[in-house]
Amino acid sequence: MKIIALLLILVSMFIGISPITVSAEDAEAEEITDLCVIHGDGKVNASLSDDSIYTYAKLNTVSIGCEEDVYGVYVKFDREPLPFTVKSQGGETSVNDSYLHQYFSFGGVKEIELNFSEETSIADIYVFSQGETPSWVQKWETADKADIMICPTHSDDDQLYFAGMLPWCAANGYTVQVVYLTNHLNTHDRPHELLEGIWQTGVKYYPLVAHFPDLYSLSLEDAISAFKAYGYEYEDFTEFYVEVLGRYKPLVVAGHDENGEYGHGAHMLNFKALTEAVEIAARDGIWDVPKTYIHSWKENTVTFNWDEPLEYFDGKSAFNVSQEAFDAHKSQHRFESLTNWLYGTESAPISRASQIRSHSPCRYGLYRSTVGLDTTENGLFEHLRSYKEQADAEESSVEESLSREESYTEESESFEESVFVSQEDSDSLNETTEDESSEIPSAIDNDNSLPKVAVWGLVAVSFAVLALIIKKAIRKNNG
C-alpha cells in the first residue's frame, strides 16, 4: 500500500497536479509594496513606503500604481485624518473613520487614489496581494456600547497597571472600550505604539483618546495646577468622563489607583475625575454603572487571576499577552523602573502576574456596585450579562414568541377545520335520517334545547337499547 501511495504522489507530481492545493484566497496575502509606485501630490515619495513612523509627509492626494493586482492597502496616518475618499477602478468611496491606522480592501485593481479635503499627514503605506490579511494589519471597529470601559491615563498604562485585564476580556468575548485620558500628540511614535499594543491584546474596538495633553506631576494638586496652566479646569475632566459614560454605557468600569500607582499626579487626577463622574452620571440619570473597579482599592478587595492559560491565545496567559503588547511601546523601554516591574531582571525574571508585589495588576477593589459583591474568582462580570448575551436572550425570546404564535395559529386552523368537517357530517346525517327524526319529540329539534352532539348521542343510545330488546325477544321466541 505504501508503494502504491508513493506511486500515486509521483504520478500526480509528474502530470502537474498537487495532492493538496491552497487557493489564493486562503493563503496569507503578500506585501507587494515594492512592486508599486506611490506618489504624493504628483511626486514619488519614498517616505510613504519606508516602514518608519518617524518619516511622514503632509499631502492632499496619494496615488498608488502597481504591477500586480492589489487587494488591500494599509495606511498609517501620522495624525488622525478628516473624512476623505478612496478611488479605484471599482468606484469611489467616502471614508469618515478617523482611525490612525486604516485598511482598505479591493477586488484586484492596479490603480488607487486617496483624496483629502485638507492637507493630511501620512507615515506609511503597505500594499497587499490577494489572500488572508496578515494578523498585524489592524482592522478597527467602533463600539456602540461597552461591556467594560478601561481608563488608563497614558498609552502604556493599559499594558502595565491594567496588565492582563484587556486580553482576558477580549479572550472571553467581551466588548472592550479603552479610554485614554491623555494624548501623545507631542510625539510621532507613542500614538502608533498605543494602537500596536492594544491590537496585540485582542481588542478590536478603536480606543478613545481624550484631547488632554500628557503632563507630568507628582501630586493631585500639582496635576490640577499643571493642566490649569494649559487652559483646563478640573471640571473639564469630570465632564469628559460623564459624556463618555453616557456614550458607551459600560457594564464595568476599571480605573487607576487613588495614589497614582507610583505617585503620578495625572493618575491621581484620573481616579478622582472618573469616580466622581460615575456618581454624577448615576445621579443625573445619564448612566448608572453596575460595577466600578479601582486598582489597589482597599475596600471590597478582589484578586484577579491573569495567569491561567487561554485557548484564545494558544495557551498563553492574559498577563503574558500584556507583556508582549508592552514590547510595542519601544519609546518607554528606556525606563528600567517600568521594564523591571513588568519583565523582572535577568536574575529574577517575571512570567506570572502573581509574582508582582508592588502595584500588582491583579489586585483591585470593587469601588461601587449596584449588583452586589463578587463571590467568585475573576468575577469581573459576575451578576451581569454582556450586551451580546442580552441581545441573544432578546432574540431568543422573540423567536419563542413567534414560534408560540405560529403554533397557536396552526392549532386554531386545525380546530376550525375539524369543526367544519363535523358540521358537514352533521348535515349529512340530518339528510339521511330526516324521516326517523320526525318521530322524535319536537323539543329535541328546538335550537334552544340540548346541543346537537348530545341529541344525536341520545338517539344512538336509544337505537342501541331498542336493538337489545328486539334481540332478547327473538332469542326467547326461539327458545
CA distances from 39 to 49, 59, 245 (A): 10, 10, 43
For the chain, residues with pLDDT lower than 50 are: 1-20, 429, 436-450, 453-455, 479
Going by C-alpha positions, the residue among 243, 246, 247, 213 that lies closest to residue 230 is 213
Helices 318-326 and 190-200 meet at what angle, rounded to 10?
Answer: 160
Asked whether the whole model's pTM tops 0.85, one would answer no
Q: Are 78 and 119 in contact (CB under 8 A)?
A: no
d(CA 216, CA 263): 11
Q: Which residues contact 443 (CB under 8 A, 6 or more apart)?
A: 449
CA 420 to chain centre: 54
Going by C-alpha positions, the residue among 206, 168, 454 that lies closest to residue 316 is 168
Tell me: the pLDDT tens digits for 142-165? 999 999 999 999 999 999 999 999
CA 19 to chain centre: 39
Cα of first residue to Cα of last residue in the chain, in angstroms, is 92
Phi, psi of 64 (to 5 degrees): -125, 125
Q: Which cell goes with 409? A: 395559529
CA 318 to chain centre: 18
Q: How does DSSP classify residue 298?
A: S
Residue 401's pLDDT is what?
77
CA 235 to chain centre: 32
Kindly list the structural domains of the chain, giving each domain's residue range(s) and its CATH number in brackets, ordered by start. Answer: 33-128 (2.60.120.260), 148-381 (3.40.50.10320)
Residue 474's pLDDT is what?
54
